[in-house]
Amino acid sequence: MAKPIVHIYQPVDQTGKSHERLEAAGAQLIMPEGTWDLMANSRVSEEVVLDPDTSVAAGVANRSIQITGASMDGAPDLRLVAKYTVGYDNVDVDAATERGILVVHSPTEGNWGGVAEGTMAYMLSLLKKVREKDRHVKNGGWRDPALFGTYVGARMIDGYEGLTIGIIGLGRIGSRLADLLAPWRVKLIAYDPYAEDSKFVHHNVRPVALETLLRGSDVVTLHCDLNEETTNLIGEKQLALMKPSAILVNAARGPIVDVDALFDALDGDRIAGAALDVLPEEPPEPQLALLGLGDKVLLSPHMITANGGTGLSLAVPWVEAAILAALRGDVPKYVVNEDALPRWQSRFGGQSLI
């Protein structure tokens, strides 16, 4: 019997040990040279072409490589698309579901927890003017009223109620962010039409409508998935609702924010600042207008989860386990498209290839 092909189109395991274990289990691996991060700097988006006999494909979530319906049709016995990342928006999930192909992701705590921590850092950098103070001193300056920051939390002594933080998306990341902010005694509100009421209660967050959140928040921070509903969720109309003193943080996905509308809002002082770990086009073109806004915008190269001891390395055993389960004909953990399970079971359930 021929060995089942596992196409790791964006390798993450730099040690190669998981690859060795997969081969020892009976799989044949197809991999490009290098690791995923070397490919992530490409501005060209490519469609993955799979070997016709591929049983499993594995990679990360970035827009340089797409798993499309055509990719899946090129491998008619494809069982699984596995992601080393929490995100999976470069996979056509609907196409996978129609074909009875499972998509799994890797919501490791180091990954989503790192996003929450990074969001805190971005938020505080803007509110406390960390970059401006550093540059001012290095340029020979010292104390200056223009460097005053914003006090974030509530103060019991004088009744100051603290800032209002608006969280869009109360999933793993949004919930952790709420927990991190709890000791600051800020006012937490959130918009998530898919979260249960108990989640808001558990994390001491008040549920509100999107417009209410935008109007009332001093910080608006995005932690929702990218899909048809959330693409350009924050555009000209939504930015116009925000306070002139408010800041926007996007550590989710670039296309959730209309960056042209964001530029206009920042350039016209209709909002005070923005911190973006993600952009619609990554890397951005050098002519991107946002790049010329100075301290009004804090930019990061989609690396909010790149932290020592965490990052994607924690997902390697998760993906390895998912691949082996699928090759054995077992349902792996962390399935994104559960609607595909009945058809998957009829096509592959209990049918081991190793």
Which active-site residues does the annotation give?
253, 282, 302
Strand order of the sheet with strand 247-250? 206-207, 187-191, 164-168, 219-222, 247-250, 273-276, 297-299
The identity of residue 320, as a single letter, is E
Listed residue (8, 32, 22, 1) closest to 82, CA to CA: 8
DSSP H stretches of helix in the chain: 17-24, 36-39, 69-73, 93-99, 109-127, 130-138, 172-181, 197-202, 210-216, 236-241, 259-267, 316-328, 341-348
**Of all helices (H) and strands (E), which one includes residue 273?**
strand 273-276
Q: Which two tokens stand for residue 348?
A: 């592959």
Note the Cα 304 to chain centre separation in Å. 9
Q: Distances in Å between the alpha carbon of 40 and those of 35, 64, 194? A: 9, 6, 31
Q: Distances in Å between the alpha carbon of 50 and those of 72, 222, 323? A: 8, 34, 16
Contacts of 297 (CB under 8 A, 6+ apart): 266, 273, 274, 275, 276, 290
